[in-house]
Amino acid sequence: MTDLRQSQIFRTSKLEEADGPGLNPTGNPTMGDIIAARFSRRGFLKGSMASAAIAATVSPIAILAADEARAGAASAFDFPEVEAGVDADHHVAAGHDADVLLRWGDKVFADAPDFDPARQSEAAQERQFGYNNDFVGFIPLEGAEDRGLLVVNHEYTNEHLMFPGIVTIADGKIAVADATEERVNIEMAAHGGTIIEIRKVDGKWQPVLDAPLNRRITAKTEMRLSGPVAGHERVRTSEDPDGTRVFGTINNCAGGVTPWGTYIMAEENIHGYFLGELPEGHREAENYKRMGIPAGDYQWGNFHRRFDIGQEPNEPNRFGWVVEVDVQDPNSIPRKRTALGRFKHEGAESVVAKDGRVVFYLGDDERFDYVYKFVTAGRFNPDDRAANMDLLDKGTLYVARFDEDGSMEWLPLAHGQGPLTAENGFESQADVLIETRRAADLLGATPMDRPEDIQPNPETGRAYVMLTNNTKRDEANAANPRLNNAFGHIIEILEADQDFTATTGRWEILLQCGDPSVAEVGATFSTETTKNGWFGMPDNAAIDAEGRLWVSTDGNSPSDTGRTDGLWAVDTEGAARGTSRLFYRVPVGAELCGPCPSPDMTTMFVAVQHPGDGGDDWEGHGRPSYYEDLSTRWPDFRDDMPVRPAVVAITRQGGGRIG
């Protein structure tokens, strides 16, 4: 979700900023430019709000909603709001319980060793719950009540929080000792994902450690490339001359669960894992530059030659894909589905369209990059799971262009169409998919402010795009009147005829985020939103069984917002549209990921990622946080245990639907 949120201050080689380097070289009109042009002509907006800056940023729907009388507005949510703030613990709305379900190092198998942070090993970590849990999905088990498979991504690792004795403090900043091969192998084992059966006992969820479908996936797990890129010369290496066999998946951020019950892992910031230099004049030089490769944030290439582009120049082309895992077979080989394109995938949420084709929405999490969707060529068969297992190998990948008049078009990334020809370096569809970003540049797609999770609502034909922020914006515009767009916004897409396969549609701003009490921020929450209800930096989202929108955040901090990240409930319909309220907040330094409501709405699973990764700007700590001196020891609060990322199960006391 952020660019290797491995704490920018901790190793000088870490990525320069949490919102990415911004690698789009085009002059395509940005989303801010388009919104500015769209609304600058609408004089009736001025005067609708006290501040002209706010008025210029608000969509017509939001303006009309804001001007209505709010008293008694019917919200879709009913819970006592959590008070925003910062401390060492987590907090949930009154009347609900937030129970820690799985922590880093917990057993995934009955024979796994107990977690011992002072004596970690690769072998142990391969049998234990991984680090920095991000996406969370729940797949019910057929014929089983209150049982299912929890699928969880492990995005990246924080060495300074994981390992004792490797940190020194210099000039008030943390320096991490050079990696050893043993430490690198533990990190690789802590990446990937976990598949684990859980069940409810006396109303509380617990893992089933002897379940036959439990599985750990790591940065060394064998995988296959499938689809148009499989076997192409640009993915062949000395270890894989056929270009079809890949080991591992990395930086798995958000993801998805398909309608046929497979687990989707989206590879995001893969650039940081590669180091070295390409041979002089290598054909991949511009391709890698567009992806920020090599960043050298990890030192894996010192011990595993495939992460050194000087030794294996094609290896980065084997990462940056969407990975599909058959959870019903713990011995299945995961597939990297290349038809969905190669970029910094935030997630891959799907919906079955009217005609039975399946549509996946995809965000490229980088400043000034794009929104995509993939439409399968085949149709979903609800009565034959096996018939759906290769749907993701054939279809059309589209990139979005948002126009000034509120319309939008989905532009196909198809070889031979428009500029996607040999004259521009695209000899085949494989080239288009390997260089998805450059293909989208040439098509004139709209550069966005860090597109992250995109959630379709199957009942309404709408999709919600989380745009986290863009702190490198150098021109003021109506959507982002600040030169430093620190708070982000949410775009609502309405597909034509409520058909998710449509190639045209409409768009609106659902929310511009930030503190609405500061006029120049231009936030557009409804007037019913309290001081606790506003948020910044929307990141992940979920649509629950009732069609309600839940938004989690990444980037709220004591110094920027006076609050930690958390989960907010956001109204999207009627007079309450644009009203937000805080449901759950995380400990200091943490990010809230992967909100996943259970199908019966009795549980909300959430992932608390990198707790304790910060605290120098919080009065409760006031200095850098690392293994020996942590800003929080959540969730164990034991002196002999470090801070541990964890999945939390939120339920309503006494049972019933949450929220």
Mean of pLDDT values over 327-332: 98
Return the closest-CA partner of residue 298 out of 130, 186, 134. 186
* The pLDDT of residue 16: 35
d(CA 511, CA 523): 7
pLDDT of residue 390: 97
Q: What are phi and psi of 6, to 5 degrees?
A: -85, 40
Q: What is the pLDDT of residue 591?
A: 98
The DSSP letter of residue 220 is T
Whole-structure pTM value: 0.92
What 3-state DSSP class applies to 183?
A: helix
User: What average pLDDT does this structure show over 356-385?
Assistant: 97
Residue-level pLDDT at 84? 98
Residue at 194: amino acid letter: T
For the stretch 534-582, pLDDT in tens is 999 999 999 999 999 999 999 999 998 999 999 999 999 999 999 999 9
245 or 3: which leads in pLDDT: 245
Fill in the amino acid letter for 407: S
Cβ neighbours of residue 241 under 8 Å, at least 6 residues apart?
A: none
User: Does residue 478 contact residue 36 with C-beta atoms inside 8 Å?
Assistant: yes
Model confidence pLDDT, tens digit, residues 449-477 = 999 999 999 999 999 999 999 888 676 54
* Residue 639 domain boundaries: 31-652
Over residues 408-429, mean pLDDT = 98
Mean pLDDT of all residues in 308-333: 98
The string of DSSP letters for 86-148 reads --SS-EE-TTEEEEEEEETT-BSSTTSPPP-GGG--HHHHTTB--SSEEEEEEEEPTT-TTEE
Report the pLDDT value the prediction gives residue 405, as an integer from 0 to 100: 87
pLDDT of residue 560: 87
Q: What is the pLDDT of residue 23?
A: 87
Would 351 be classed as within a structural domain? yes
Residue 7 falls within a domain, yes or no? no
Predicted confidence (pLDDT) at residue 499 exceeds the cutoff of 90:
yes
- Report, as an integer, the average pLDDT of 472-494: 72
pLDDT score, position 652:
97
- What proportion of the chain, given as a percentage, has pLDDT over 90? 83
pLDDT of residue 37: 61
Higher-pLDDT residue of 527 and 53 is: 527
Which of 67-81, 422-436, 437-451, 509-523 has the weakest average pLDDT? 67-81
Instruction: Tell me what pLDDT residue 52 has.
Output: 33
Q: What is the pLDDT of residue 549?
A: 98
Name every residue whose Cβ is closer than 8 Å to that of residue 5 and which is 6 or more positions away in sequence: 18, 156, 554, 591, 609, 610, 613
Query: What's the rounded mean pLDDT across residues 301-330?
Result: 98
- Read out DSSP for 193-213? EEEEEEEEETTEEEE-TT-TT
DSSP string, 559-586: TTTSS--EEEEE--SGGGTT-EEEEEEP
Tell me which residue of 158, 159, 161 sits closest to 180, measured CA to CA: 159
Does some domain include residue 25? Answer: no
Residues facing 169 on adjacent strands: 174
The SS3 of residue 349 is: strand
Q: Please count the other Cβ atoms lying within 10 Å of the Cβ belonging to residue 180.
A: 14
Give 458's Cβ-side CA count (13 Å radius). 16
Query: 14: pLDDT confidence band, cut at 50, 70 and 90?
Result: very low
Structure confidence at residue 404 (pLDDT): 85
The SS3 call for residue 512 is: strand
Provide the domain count of the chain: 1
Res 49 pLDDT > 80: no
563-576 pLDDT, tens digit each? 999 999 999 999 99
Q: How many CA atoms lie within 13 A of 53 on its CB side?
A: 14
CB 230 within 8 A of CB 224: yes
Contact assessment for residue 630 and residue 643, using Cβ atoms and an 8 Å cutoff: yes
Checking if the pLDDT of 78 tops 70, the result is: yes
Q: Residue 396 pLDDT more than 90?
A: yes
Residue 3 lies in a domain: no
Across residues 349-372, what is the average pLDDT? 97
Higher-pLDDT residue of 412 and 70 is 412
Confidence of residue 33 (pLDDT cuts 50, 70, 90): low
Going by pLDDT thresholds of 50, 70 and 90, the confidence category of residue 67 is very low
Give me the amino acid identity at 277.
E
Q: 186 pLDDT band (50/70/90 cuts)?
A: very high
Residue 10 domain-assigned (yes or no): no
The alpha helices in 420-518, defined as continuous H runs, are 429-434, 436-443
Of all residues in the chain, what percent carry a pLDDT higher than 70?
89
9 vs 257, higher pLDDT: 257
The answer to whether the CB of 373 falls within 8 A of the CB of 410 is: yes
Residue 55: per-residue pLDDT: 38
Residue 428: count of CB within 10 angstroms of its CB: 15
Tell me the three state secondary structure of residue 591.
strand
Q: What is the DSSP string of 235-286?
A: G--SS-TTS-EEE----EEEEEE-TTS-EEEEE--GGGG-BS-PPTT-TTHH
For residue 15, is it within any domain? no
Give mean pLDDT, residues 431-441: 98
Please indicate, yes or no, if residue 657 is contained in any of the structural domains.
no
Asked whether residue 308 is assigned to any structural domain, the reply reads: yes
- CA atoms of 249 and 551, how far apart (whole Å): 26
What mean pLDDT value characterizes the chain?
A: 90
